[in-house]
A and B are shown apart, each in its own frame.
Chain A
Amino acid sequence: MGDLLNSGSATVLALIILGLAALGFALTRRRTVVSVQGDTRRLHSLPAYYGYNAAMLIAVPSLMVIAVWLLVQPVLVQNAVIELIPEEVVAEGSSVGLVMSDVRRVAEGLDSAVAQGAMTVQEAASLDAGATDVRAQLAEIGVALGADVQGPVLAAAQRYRTMTATGRLAMMVTALALALAGFAYAFSRTNADFRARNTVEAGIKALLILAASLAVLTTVGIVLSMLFESINFFRLHDWKDFFLGRSWAPNFRGDSDLSILPLLWGTLYISIIALAVAVPIGLFAAIYLSEYASSTVRSFAKPLLEILAGIPTIVYGLFALLTVGPFLVKIFGRGEDGLLGVDWMSGATSVLTAGLVMGIMLIPFVSSLSDDIINAVPQSLRDGSFGLGATHSETIRQVVLPAALPGIVGAVLLAASRAIGETMIVVLGAGAIARISGNPLEAMTTITTRIVSQLTGDTDFASPETLVAFALGLTLFVLTLGLNVLALYIVRKYREQYE
């Protein structure tokens, strides 16, 4: 029992419950078959359904209780324990979080001391910081502490231990009781007329709904957390400057210009260049692959394109910084030494560098989506066009592409939202200077790179310079969400028109 209370206890408990579920399955199933003297045709459902029903009733509620308990208990215990720690201790130890982690370490130390037999349970519970050197005692058994243990911390740790232990015990009892109750209920309800098949169906539906709502809740949670931090930001910083200002100049001593416009401009400019590269090339590649290429060409060209899609974006970033950037400088820069003899470009990082490389990254994305969409256009439409004496390219232009258009527009918008959210390529390829300029050979910066730079290094989550990252992130999210909604809207509109 003592072992069970330690870290692995939840897993062991879950295994026990699963074992119970398996047992419940077997016993209930048997009981059902026996109840009709083996003539299973008299049962409402197949015997296994009675088993599934029992297993579900045993496992699902109890496992859910365990999951919720494991999430909630630490919060409750921590809140209770924090009251024991006077404010002076917190002041010295810099923050409540740090003190609490001390408390947890001491508690774990005591646990392992008890487990190794270095202390009895009573000794651990009645330890006194004034009388014994707790740090030395714990060091003996291999638990190193950063500082001497102060009285309140030790007391808190002891409280933490007892509360955790009681909590765990209560959890085990509740979960097991629930499992057994489920077992008993399912077992007693099992008779030939019980509609186990329908109950299992309802149970499965409930599980699926649970999974779907967890996914949705996570999204909502992410958005809410961004929203709250953004609200904090707008308390500290004027929203007019953020949305309408003209300059981005963060200054960690305060009083910064934090306007999104220069960043948005960089983001959109780079994305447009990227799409200008990716959409024609990707679309033409898709048309070639799906309409003209023989199956042999297809069988090696498609995987090759898909390899392009598998390259990590940081590698594209390196490609931008080390290959494309210097190449562009060779063409457009270096004055007399350059290929064009002009000096328009000074550094390797520029809007054009990032845009080109991002375009290359998006080619396989656009082409494989368009390829699927073009392939989904029914062959009968092509036949109809050929049958009227149209050539292949006439057929593609006038029948296949219009039919595939909504899907292709959707693909382009999806590519656009990827371009807008892309980070690594612009971190390395676009530069760090926020400005609004039409010259693609200049370095500019994007929303994503600024989020990265505002959150790296020393950050203080109470200053607008850090919190602005959340406002930027939220804006980015709204932007890509808007694009996706638009994509869906367009697709649906065309669907209505042609289906």
Chain B
Amino acid sequence: MKDNVISEYDVTPLPIKIAARDVQVYYGDTHALKDVSVDIEDKTVTAFIGPSGCGKSTFLRCINRMNDTIDIARVTGDIRIDGEDIYDKRVDPVQLRAKVGMVFQKPNPFPKSIYDNVAYGPRIHGMARNKAELDDIVERALKRAALWNEVKDRLQAPGTGLSGGQQQRLCIARAVATEPEVLLMDEPCSALDPIATAQVEELIDELRENFSVVIVTHSMQQAARVSQKTAFFHLGHLVEFGDTDKIFTTPEDPRTESYITGRIG
């Protein structure tokens, strides 16, 4: 089935959603991201892989300007979403982040009820006209994040009372609820058991119909399973970027190959 997807993808080239050119990120004096240029397509899952500390999260945070909240971080270069330069002075980062959702590496539910956690974004952006609509949005988001069945009877319980994996799915539901065009997921499955992982992967595959999804993962299998494109980062460089199948079968760069083989065994 997967082969079908890939071949289908091969025949119909998709429009570019995110175009990055020569992106550099500095944390104070540390040069964390060097000359990254990449085109991320719409309605595609793109996986970022690479050893710890190579700059995957850093690049992800460039795409929704979360690096703005870090005092010492400095970003140069050019990132366009739908052709619009997101680092332009006229772009409101708040607006941008409504369009580019993010699931963080560590689950960070708000100290509010499960319901309020999911309703947070829709409320801020005025997405529901009444309570019933909001209820709908919350239910749909929780279902997509494969959490609905576990929490439907205790929507008013605090989100911080859930288990680690449930919290992570709550954060996914929270991000999905605002209907972003791009979803950035930083190791969304690192705290999940295989069943929940499979559910989240299903969700990612489903999201691909409408959104462009970028997922950071340390699991080669996961990257191979869910993504159509893969980017390999190493020491702040984007070493190789291409079709997932190709990266995992015939990588061009020796560093990619040794990383993949080292991991896969």
Binding site for B on A (CB under 8 A): 295, 378, 380-391, 394, 398-399, 402-403, 497-499
B interface bracket (residues with beta carbon within 8 Å of A): 20 to 34
Q: Which residues of B contact A402 (CB under 8 A)?
A: 110-112
B263 to chain A, nearest CB (A): 27
CB-defined interface of B33-67 with A at 8 Å, one 1/0 digit per residue?
A: 00000000000000000000000000000001010
Extra pairs beyond A384-B109, A389-B178, A403-B111 (13, CB < 8 Å): A380-B104, A385-B110, A386-B66, A386-B69, A388-B120, A388-B178, A389-B96, A389-B99, A399-B111, A402-B110, A498-B111, A498-B158, A499-B160
Which residue on A lies nearest to B113, using beta carbons?
Answer: A497
Which residue on B lies nearest to A494, using beta carbons?
Answer: B111
B110 A387 Cβ-Cβ under 8 A: no
Q: Which residues of A contact B111 (CB under 8 A)?
A: 381, 399, 402-403, 497-498
Q: How far is B190's CA from A283's CA once the two chains are assembled, in angstroms?
A: 38
Pick from B66, B98, B121, B124: contact of A383, CB under 8 Å: B66
A390 B112 Cβ-Cβ under 8 A: no
Q: How far is B64's CA from A109's CA once the two chains are assembled, in angstroms?
A: 87
Pick from A383, A390, A498: contact of B108, CB under 8 Å: A383
Which residue on B lies nearest to A398, using beta carbons?
Answer: B120
Q: Which residues of B contact A380 (CB under 8 A)?
A: 104, 106, 108
Pick from A378, A381, A384, A390: contact of B124, CB under 8 Å: A390
Q: How far is B123's CA from A398's CA once the two chains are assembled, in angstroms?
A: 11
CB-defined interface of B69-93 with A at 8 Å, one 1/0 digit per residue?
A: 1010000000000000000000000
A386 B97 Cβ-Cβ under 8 A: yes
Q: Which residues of A contact B214 (CB under 8 A)?
A: none
Which residue on B lies nearest to A394, using beta carbons?
Answer: B124
**Taking the complex as formed, is B2 at the interface, i.e. its CB lies under 8 A from any CB of chain A?**
no
Q: Which residues of A contact B98 (CB under 8 A)?
A: 388-389
B110 A384 Cβ-Cβ under 8 A: yes
Pick from B69, B109, B125: contact of A389, CB under 8 Å: B125
**Taking the complex as formed, is B102 at the interface, i.e. its CB lies under 8 A from any CB of chain A?**
yes
Q: Which residues of B contact A387 (CB under 8 A)?
A: 64, 66, 97, 101-102, 104, 175
Q: Which residues of A contact B174 (CB under 8 A)?
A: 384, 388
The answer to whether A388 and B97 touch (CB under 8 A), given A381-B110, A402-B112, A403-B111, is yes
Q: Which residues of A contact B175 (CB under 8 A)?
A: 387-388
The answer to whether A389 and B110 touch (CB under 8 A), given A383-B66, A498-B158, A499-B160, is no
**Taking the complex as formed, is B130 at the interface, i.e. its CB lies under 8 A from any CB of chain A?**
no
Q: Which residues of B contact A390 (CB under 8 A)?
A: 94, 120-121, 124
Which residue on A lies nearest to B124, using beta carbons?
Answer: A390
Q: How far is B66's CA from A380's CA once the two chains are assembled, in angstroms?
A: 11
Q: Which residues of A contact B97 (CB under 8 A)?
A: 386-389
**Taking the complex as formed, is B171 at the interface, i.e. its CB lies under 8 A from any CB of chain A?**
yes
Q: Which residues of B contact A386 (CB under 8 A)?
A: 66, 69, 94, 97
Q: Which residues of B contact A389 (CB under 8 A)?
A: 94-99, 121, 124-125, 178
A384 B112 Cβ-Cβ under 8 A: no
Q: How far is B178's CA from A390's CA once the two chains are assembled, in angstroms?
A: 11
A417 to chain B, nearest CB (A): 26
Q: How far is B101's CA from A378's CA once the two chains are assembled, in angstroms?
A: 20
B172 to chain A, nearest CB (A): 12
B103 to chain A, nearest CB (A): 8
14 pairs, CB–CB < 8 Å, chain A vs chain B: A380-B108, A383-B66, A383-B69, A384-B108, A384-B171, A385-B110, A388-B98, A388-B101, A388-B124, A389-B94, A390-B94, A402-B110, A402-B111, A403-B110
Q: Which residues of B contact A384 (CB under 8 A)?
A: 104, 108-110, 171, 174
Q: Which residues of A contact B104 (CB under 8 A)?
A: 380, 383-384, 387
Please name the 6 residue pairs, one residue from A and one from B, whose CB atoms are nearest each other, closest first.
A389-B98, A498-B111, A380-B108, A387-B102, A388-B121, A389-B97
B69 A497 Cβ-Cβ under 8 A: no
B151 to chain A, nearest CB (A): 16
Which residue on A lies nearest to B68, using beta carbons?
Answer: A386
A402 to chain B, nearest CB (A): 6
A299 to chain B, nearest CB (A): 13
Q: Which residues of A contact B69 (CB under 8 A)?
A: 382-383, 386
Which residue on A lies nearest to B102, using beta carbons?
Answer: A387
B106 to chain A, nearest CB (A): 6
A296 to chain B, nearest CB (A): 11
Q: How far is B45's CA from A450's CA once the two chains are assembled, in angstroms?
A: 75
Q: How far is B126's CA from A389's CA once the two chains are assembled, in angstroms?
A: 12
Q: Which residues of A contact B121 (CB under 8 A)?
A: 388-390
Q: How far is B107's CA from A381's CA once the two chains are assembled, in angstroms?
A: 9
A391 B64 Cβ-Cβ under 8 A: no
Q: Which residues of B contact A403 (CB under 8 A)?
A: 110-111
Q: Which residues of A contact B158 (CB under 8 A)?
A: 497-498
Which residue on A lies nearest to B177, using beta carbons?
Answer: A388
Which residue on B lies nearest to A378, using beta carbons?
Answer: B108
A491 to chain B, nearest CB (A): 13
Q: How far is B120's CA from A386's CA once the two chains are assembled, in angstroms?
A: 11
Q: Which residues of A contact B71 (CB under 8 A)?
A: 295
A399 to chain B, nearest CB (A): 5
CB-defined interface of B174-186 with A at 8 Å, one 1/0 digit per residue?
A: 1100100000000
Find the residue from A384, A390, A497 having the highest chain B CB count within 10 A.
Answer: A384
Q: How far is B98's CA from A25's CA once the two chains are assembled, in angstroms?
A: 69
Q: How far is B164's CA from A322's CA once the two chains are assembled, in angstroms?
A: 60
Residues B154-207 near A (CB distance < 8 A): 158, 160, 171, 174-175, 178
Q: How far is B114's CA from A498's CA once the two chains are assembled, in angstroms?
A: 11
Q: Which residues of A contact B102 (CB under 8 A)?
A: 387
Q: How far is B98's CA from A383's CA once the two chains are assembled, in angstroms?
A: 13
Q: How far is B101's CA from A391's CA once the two chains are assembled, in angstroms?
A: 14
